[in-house]
Amino acid sequence: MTTYAFPGDLRDAQLRLHQVGAAYRALCQALPWSVEPAPGWERDKQPYTEYRTGKPDSPGYTHPYWRTLEAGTTVDARMALNHIHDQDPALADIRTDERSLRSLQPRSARQMLNSVLWLGMTDTEIEITADLVRDLLQEQHPDLAALAIREVAGGWGNQMWRLGDEMAVRMQRMDPTPELQLNERRWLPVLAPRLPLPVPTPVRFGEPSERFPKHWTVMTWVPGEPLDHGSISRGDHAADTLAGFLQALHVEAPAEAPVSTQFGAHPRNCTNSFEGFFQDVAPDDIAADVRTVWDDAVAADAWEGPPVWVHGDLHPANVVVSDGTLSGIIDFGAMFAGDPAWDLAAAWVLLPAGTASRFFDTYAHADEAAIRRARGLAAMKSLFLMAMGQSGDRGLPGGKPHWGPAGRAALDRVLKGV
């Protein structure tokens, strides 16, 4: 018998698998890797339990449930869905298609799980359309209902719709709770006035209703082109701009600021996530160099300052550019109080080659340990972009083919250092 285990933290991979509850638990029991419930906490006054995967004896993972299969056994989506149906008949109407039912070997279980649970999430979700958005506006904010509504491509946890020329409607979609939107509602009006770049700020609140039982928010629209569809040609200007923005953002946060369970940990506590991406997509010719960068980050001293405001999820889809430089920062749903190294990783993930040194000189508040942590986190984020690109190349739901080249370019920049 051969035991297979997927070492990555699927939440860190942003697959949001926990949101299907019973379906996820049933599926995890059917598949060949270790799973255990992490400590639960209160979210929106509802008990909430996160399920993670991990190698035995790794930090934070004890007594996982193991499943074994004969070596070479193929686990396909049909098997997994059948198991879900057996465990929870209420999910028996989940539909399937041939692409998502392709058989995958156990080592590719992450991609298969993504496909299966995408079916579970999308087929049971309310379809968000322009008509629905307009109806919700008519019900709760009728003075905005006559404005033009246009869908914005992209998005995972939330779906965006342009509203006129200066606003957008942010509709909760895959995020399992309204926590991220509620954080943006509370804290962006506090942060935005002291930030030197435009950021989205809430204009109106949409509350759950019979028509749409989730939260939605009307936000200001930040003009520009997302960097994952654009480019930076004025590298020095962009480095100075990003450094100035993070200087303004990275101030001590109040005690009631959100604390992230997804981002913010020291690299030594993110080893499972790194290993998952590394094993999946790290190119053989540079794998040893990537490993060296990561090991150096793991060995770096921890952040010893007070928790500061951190965006937490700076990648090419969460910044906008115009005139060849950064012109806005979006999607603050992951913001938290903690280690600024999570944002400093953007020196390599966002900026062109050769500008990291200028960025850190301008930022002026990062010591050697912070730069080492940031560089390792940038390596992990680059691998994540490559993994999302690989999923897109394979036609898997949620994949983004154009992120692969961006991730590889960022990884090359990481290896060049400061």
DSSP string, 269-306: G-HHHHHHHHHHH--TTTHHHHHHHHHHHHHSPPP-S-
Distance, CA of 409 to CA of 290 (rounded, Å): 13
Distances (CA, A) of 106 to 72, 74, 286: 8, 7, 26
Distance, CA of 116 to CA of 102 (rounded, Å): 10
Q: What is the mean pLDDT of residues 393-412?
A: 88
Distance, CA of 243 to CA of 141 (rounded, Å): 38
Residues in Cβ contact with 131 at an 8 Å cutoff, skipping those fewer than 6 apart: none
- Residue 139's pLDDT is 97
Cα torsion 288, 292, 297, 299: sign: positive
* Domains of the chain, each with CATH number or no CATH: 2-124 (no CATH), 130-220 (3.30.200.20), 225-416 (3.90.1200.10)
- 184 in Cβ contact with 332 (< 8 Å): yes
Model confidence at 57, pLDDT cuts 50, 70, 90, reads very low
Q: What is the mean pLDDT of residues 412-416?
A: 98
Residues in Cβ contact with 154 at an 8 Å cutoff, skipping those fewer than 6 apart: 160, 226, 317
Chain-wide mean pLDDT for the chain? 76
Model confidence at 330, pLDDT cuts 50, 70, 90, reads very high
Q: Could you tell me how many helices (H) and strands (E) the chain has, helices first? A: 13, 16
Intra-chain end-to-end CA distance of the chain, in Å = 47
Distance, CA of 384 to CA of 314 (rounded, Å): 12
Distance, CA of 414 to CA of 249 (rounded, Å): 23
User: H/E element holding 313?
Assistant: none
pLDDT tens, position by position, 116-173: 333 333 333 578 899 999 999 999 999 999 999 999 987 667 889 999 999 999 998 7
Does 351 or 47 have the greater pLDDT score? 351
**For the whole model, what pTM was predicted?**
0.74
pLDDT tens, position by position, 18-41: 333 334 444 444 443 333 333 332
pLDDT tens, position by position, 189-218: 999 999 999 999 999 999 999 999 899 999
Distances (CA, A) of 174 to 57, 85, 245, 394: 31, 21, 29, 22
| Token pair belonging to 375 | 């560089």
Distance, CA of 153 to CA of 5 (rounded, Å): 35
- Show the 3-state SS of 162-195: EECCCEEEEEECCCCCCHHHHHHHHHHHHHHHHC
